[in-house]
A and B are shown apart, each in its own frame.
Chain A
Amino acid sequence: MKVGSRLEAVLSSGHFAVTAELGPPKGADLEVIGRKIELLRNCADAVNITDNQTAVVRMCSAAVAHILVENGVEPVMQMTCRDRNRLAIQADLLGAYALGVRNLLCLTGDHQSFGNHPQSKNVYDLDSIQLIQVVRRMREEGVFMNGEPMEGGARFFIGAAANPFADPFEFRPLRLAKKVSAGADFIQTQLVYNVPKFREYMHRVCDLGLHEKVYILAGVGPIKSVGAARYMATSVPGMDVPEEIVERMRKAPKEKRTDEGINICVEVIQQVREIPGVAGVHIMAIEWEEAVAEICERAGLLPRPSPQLPEGAAK
């Protein structure tokens, strides 16, 4: 194993992995985090901690990731290139590693115009692919981006995102290949609602042999309401929610709509599980963490395995 994180152990032992997501609070409230940790604790092999998700200021992902480590839940720390230049990125990586973080998701990051400080200056010194390269060199060569040796390495299990539904569709598998050659160990995809399109994407990914080089976790998530379905279908760039899904939500009786959202999610999990090259699912139920346990239960993903971790590996 490269790092010896629990997520890596689950994936490398061939288990179908489950990751979930935890959005840090818009404030310094520890209680909220504690409550969400308990909702996710036994459902996921690791939990993503978002980094100023959708460019809205929240508690920093490294701090929240550390709180998870202390509570015995393994985090996947998200790191975007929007808010930090290469100095800050590397400094934060060292800090996060020292605090016990072992999994990292490298993102370019949503543009700040989507968030709550649209007046800000963005950074984008690096993009996600270049960030992956930096983290890999830290791990494999023990050096900073400028080639200087580090005093004590930071060894992360490196994740990246992929959106099979963004354009140009034909280029998406090639861009995934770039992430793999940069050093990505695992991939978490955009939310899958259009399963046929995702199947086609995975087909192309497997043709390139990428599924043998990287673990691909399909992004899934429950829809809470008709409004949410419609909003995702029409107003979120890069999302693909087919009309049938919106219709299903609309046709469900009002008091059964959240159940229907969960039903759809469970079905998608069962379908993507059958697609060659899919190594797990990443369940995104931000601000609806309560749903994760039920989804996992009904999709037959519980109990989570307890893989053998190497001696001295991350807690």
Chain B
Amino acid sequence: MIRAQQKPLVEIESLIGQAKNVLVLGCGTCTAVCLAGGEKEARTLAAALRVSAQIKGVQREVRHSLVQRQCEPEFVREVEEEALWADVIVSLACGIGCQVMNERYPERLTVPGVNTCFLGAPIEHGVFDERCQACGDCILHLTGGICPIARCAKSMLNGPCGGSQHGKCEVNPSNPCAWQLIYERLLSLNKLELISAILPAKDWRSARDGGQRRIVREDVRL
């Protein structure tokens, strides 16, 4: 899922500026799961903004609400009334949700209340790790189910580099070396031949390097 982290309160306040009516809008999917922008976080942030406004003597009404999936225009229709009441909407969804709100309600500014970080998985409670960079041409079948694009600091296709030691990545010793993991997994699967062959240079057109990407499904288009 998409992983995000809430922005600091002071930053969010600066994004709100002088707005009188503020809607904090959580999302019930990814950012809820990573504890950055679900119902609870939206409620807490709204309360914090209220308290802060009170202390500073700013006249401001703050409400909060939730959309189950802020990344889909269908879903954000549900909050039309609150959205149009607000001067500024603070989105606690990922960058997609924030943009969908801006597209759906162009007369209102929706500002990001979280930093969208990566596509990842929890490795323990409260710890999330990156797993995928959505490169558009998945090669996990070649690398033992471990992604070198997202998890090797140099996105090497023929690792490990010379800095891999004691299973740690040279760039950040709190991360495992992705290529050490790949080696071990393929060794245990008896499939080392997969990385004994040279993986050719990647065609990055399917990744972001080809410009903004779009998927068209003719079969389900209306």
Contact surface of A with B, Cβ cutoff 8 Å: 81-82, 86, 108-111, 113-114, 122, 124-130, 133-134, 145, 161-163, 165-168, 171, 174-175, 177-178, 181-182, 190, 237-238
CB interface residues, B 140-168, toward A, < 8 Å = 153-168
- Minimum distance in angstroms from B32 CB to a CB of chain A: 31
Residues A126 and B171 in contact, CB atoms below 8 Å apart: no
List, sorted by A's number, 29 A–B pairs whose CB atoms are closer than 8 Å. A111-B170, A113-B153, A113-B171, A113-B172, A124-B154, A124-B155, A124-B156, A125-B201, A125-B204, A126-B201, A127-B158, A130-B198, A130-B200, A165-B165, A167-B164, A167-B165, A167-B177, A167-B180, A168-B160, A168-B180, A168-B184, A171-B183, A175-B160, A181-B198, A190-B162, A237-B168, A237-B173, A238-B161, A238-B170
Interface status of B196 (Cβ within 8 A of chain A): yes
Closest 3 CB pairs of A and B: A163-B162, A237-B170, A237-B163
Residues A167 and B156 in contact, CB atoms below 8 Å apart: no
Q: Kindly report which residue of chain B lies nearest to residue A112, judged by CB atoms.
A: B171
Given A111-B170, A113-B171, A238-B162, CB of A178 within 8 Å of CB of B198: yes
| Across-interface contacts of A82 in B (CB, < 8 A) | 154
Residues B158 and A237 in contact, CB atoms below 8 Å apart: no
Residues A237 and B200 in contact, CB atoms below 8 Å apart: no
| Across-interface contacts of B177 in A (CB, < 8 A) | 167
Residues A145 and B158 in contact, CB atoms below 8 Å apart: no
Residues A127 and B156 in contact, CB atoms below 8 Å apart: yes
Q: Which DSSP category, helix, strand, loop or mixed, fits chain B's interface?
A: loop
Residue among A109, A113, A161, A175 with the most chain B CB within 10 A?
A175
Contact of B162 among A81, A134, A161, A181 (CB under 8 A): A161
CA distance A111 to B198 in the complex (A): 22
| Across-interface contacts of B168 in A (CB, < 8 A) | 237
Residues A166 and B154 in contact, CB atoms below 8 Å apart: no
CA distance A238 to B192 in the complex (A): 22
| Across-interface contacts of B201 in A (CB, < 8 A) | 86, 125-126, 130, 133-134, 145
CA distance A122 to B152 in the complex (A): 13
Residues B156 and A108 in contact, CB atoms below 8 Å apart: yes
Q: How many A-B residue pairs have CB under 8 A?
A: 91
| Across-interface contacts of B192 in A (CB, < 8 A) | 174
Contact surface of B with A, Cβ cutoff 8 Å: 153-168, 170-173, 177, 180, 183-184, 192, 196-198, 200-201, 204
- Minimum distance in angstroms from A123 CB to a CB of chain B: 10
Given A125-B204, A130-B200, CB of A238 within 8 Å of CB of B165: yes
Residues B155 and A167 in contact, CB atoms below 8 Å apart: no
Given A171-B183, A238-B163, CB of A182 within 8 Å of CB of B198: yes
Q: Kindly report which residue of chain A lies nearest to residue B153, judged by CB atoms.
A: A111
Contact of A111 among B165, B167, B171, B184 (CB under 8 A): B171
- Minimum distance in angstroms from A181 CB to a CB of chain B: 7
| Across-interface contacts of A111 in B (CB, < 8 A) | 153-154, 163, 170-171
Residues A130 and B160 in contact, CB atoms below 8 Å apart: no
| Across-interface contacts of A124 in B (CB, < 8 A) | 154-156
Residue among B159, B165, B177, B196 with the most chain A CB within 10 A?
B165
| Across-interface contacts of B161 in A (CB, < 8 A) | 108, 166, 238
Residues B196 and A130 in contact, CB atoms below 8 Å apart: no
- Minimum distance in angstroms from B207 CB to a CB of chain A: 11
Contact of A237 among B154, B165, B184, B197 (CB under 8 A): B165
In the complex, given contacts A111-B171, A113-B171, A130-B200, what are 6 additional A-B residue pairs having Cβ atoms less than 8 angstroms apart? A111-B154, A111-B170, A128-B158, A161-B162, A168-B184, A238-B161
| Across-interface contacts of A190 in B (CB, < 8 A) | 162
| Across-interface contacts of B160 in A (CB, < 8 A) | 166-168, 171, 175
Q: Kindly report which residue of chain A lies nearest to residue B161, judged by CB atoms.
A: A108
CA distance A86 to B204 in the complex (A): 11
CA distance A162 to B158 in the complex (A): 13
| Across-interface contacts of B172 in A (CB, < 8 A) | 113
Residues A130 and B157 in contact, CB atoms below 8 Å apart: yes
Residues B164 and A166 in contact, CB atoms below 8 Å apart: yes
- Minimum distance in angstroms from B209 CB to a CB of chain A: 9
Q: Kindly report which residue of chain B lies nearest to residue A111, judged by CB atoms.
A: B171
Residues B198 and A238 in contact, CB atoms below 8 Å apart: no
Q: Kindly report which residue of chain A lies nearest to residue B201, judged by CB atoms.
A: A130
- Minimum distance in angstroms from B139 CB to a CB of chain A: 14
CA distance A130 to B177 in the complex (A): 20
CA distance A190 to B167 in the complex (A): 18
CA distance A163 to B163 in the complex (A): 8
Residues B158 and A175 in contact, CB atoms below 8 Å apart: yes
| Across-interface contacts of B200 in A (CB, < 8 A) | 130, 133
| Across-interface contacts of B162 in A (CB, < 8 A) | 161-163, 166, 190, 238
Given A133-B198, A177-B196, A237-B170, CB of A166 within 8 Å of CB of B165: yes
- Minimum distance in angstroms from B38 CB to a CB of chain A: 32
| Across-interface contacts of B184 in A (CB, < 8 A) | 168
